[in-house]
Structure formats: C-alpha cells, structure tokens
C-alpha cells in the first residue's frame, strides 16, 4: 500500500490497533465544533495508516446554504476532514509532541460522488512522508464502501508554543 495510486479501501476492513474517541481527538488537534470534522480515528499502523470516522449530521448548518433543496457536503470540507484525520495519527508520534500541523497545500483532489446529510464517512489515510518540519499524506473518503473523494495534501509542522503565544 505504499504507492501513491493504490487504493486505501483495504484499510476499511484492516484490524484496528487503537480507537481514538472524540476526547482523544480533541487532545491531539486544536479544532473544535463547528470545525472539528473527525468524530473518532481508528489507528491501523502507528505513524502510517488510520481511518477517520465522521457522521455528517443532517442538522449541520453548512447545509442551509450548500445547497438549499440539494444539500451536499462541501468538497473543501472533505479535504479538511482528511487532513484532520491524518493530523490525529501524526500528533500521536513522539516526534510531534508539543507540535502542531497545518495544511500547506492540496497537491491533488478528486471528488467522485457527493456526500449527503446523514452519511457516515470513513477517511482512509496514509502518511507518505513525515519529517520534522513537513510531510505529505493521502486520503480517500468512503461512504458505504464507495469512494467519494480522494486527495494528497502536504503539511508543515510548527511548535505549539510559537503558534499559540500571546505575541503570535
């Protein structure tokens, strides 16, 4: 599964090493409602593979404007959800204690099917490279076992103290 093109779908049925619930997720990344887009994360292999879980609530306010009469989850939020799931996996690593990750770029993204209110998304993630200052990961969004979106994102790593200082 180390290729940039091989499907990550097999992660959906892979043995789960550890389930991180919403409390664990909040302890690893700074996002909060309404912009916390991952409910839980199943670690498949530390530092390499995970599956993020997200229930798309029909009550999510985003559906009031995107789009009335034909509500679909915004594509950019699918990319953000993938990034958050990958960040949860990475921030568990010892080298990233006291660090924070930021999306630096969207190298590619494809949106194959719409995600609708009430859908349960599975965000299959693979870390392609994780260095002390930057890295890359790829993800695939599944609903009911069907591929809905995929992408590759790059990220940078910063020190939390620097980012969240009063002077920043």
Q: What is the pLDDT of residue 4?
A: 62
Q: Which domain holds residue 116?
A: 9-163
Tell which residue, 95, 109, 151, 111, has the closest CA to residue 128: 151
Q: Among residues 31, 55, 66, 148, which one is catalytic?
A: 66
The CATH number that applies at residue 72 is 3.10.129.10
What is the model's pLDDT at position 165? Answer: 77
| pLDDT value at residue 42 | 99
Each residue's pLDDT, cut to its tens digit, for the chain (168 residues) gives 445 679 999 999 999 999 999 999 999 999 999 999 999 999 999 999 999 999 999 999 999 999 999 999 999 999 999 999 999 999 999 999 999 999 999 999 999 999 999 999 999 999 999 999 999 999 999 999 999 999 999 999 999 988 887 654
Amino acid 78: pLDDT: 99
Q: Is residue 101 part of a domain?
A: yes
Q: Cβ of 67: how many Cβ atoms within 10 Å?
A: 10
60 within domain boundaries: yes
Torsion sign (Cα): 111, 113, 116, 119: negative
* 145 in a structural domain: yes
**Phi/psi at 90 (nearest 5 deg)?**
-65, -40
137 Cβ contact partners less than 8 Å away, ≥ 6 residues apart: 82, 83, 86, 90, 125, 126, 127, 128, 130, 152, 153, 155
pLDDT at 2: 47
Asked if residue 82 belongs to a domain, the reply is: yes
Residue 4 maps to a domain: no
In the beta sheet, which residues pair with residue 102?
A: 156
Can you give the pTM of this predicted structure?
Answer: 0.94
* pLDDT confidence of residue 3: 56
In a domain, 1, yes or no: no
Give yes or no: 66 in active site: yes
Give the count of domains, the chain: 1
**Is 133 within a domain?**
yes
Query: Is the dihedral angle over the CA atoms 64, 67, 71, 75 positive or is it negative?
Result: negative
């Amino acid at each position: 599964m180390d290729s940039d093109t091989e499907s990550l779908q097999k992660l959906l049925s892979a043995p789960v090493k550890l389930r991180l619930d919403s409390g664990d997720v909040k302890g690893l990344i700074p996002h909060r409602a309404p912009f916390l887009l991952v409910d839980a994360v199943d670690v498949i292999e530390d530092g390499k593979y995970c599956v993020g879980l997200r229930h798309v609530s029909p009550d999510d306010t985003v559906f009031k404007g995107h789009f009335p009469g034909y509500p679909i989850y915004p594509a950019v939020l699918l990319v953000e959800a993938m990034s958050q799931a990958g960040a949860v996996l990475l921030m568990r690593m010892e080298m990233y204690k006291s660090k924070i990750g930021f999306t630096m770029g969207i190298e590619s993204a494809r949106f194959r099917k719409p995600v609708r209110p009430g859908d349960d998304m599975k965000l299959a993630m693979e870390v392609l490279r994780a260095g002390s200052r930057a890295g890359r990961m790829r993800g695939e969004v599944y609903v009911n076992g069907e591929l809905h979106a995929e992408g590759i994102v790059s990220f940078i790593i910063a020190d939390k103290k620097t980012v969240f200082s009063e002077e920043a």
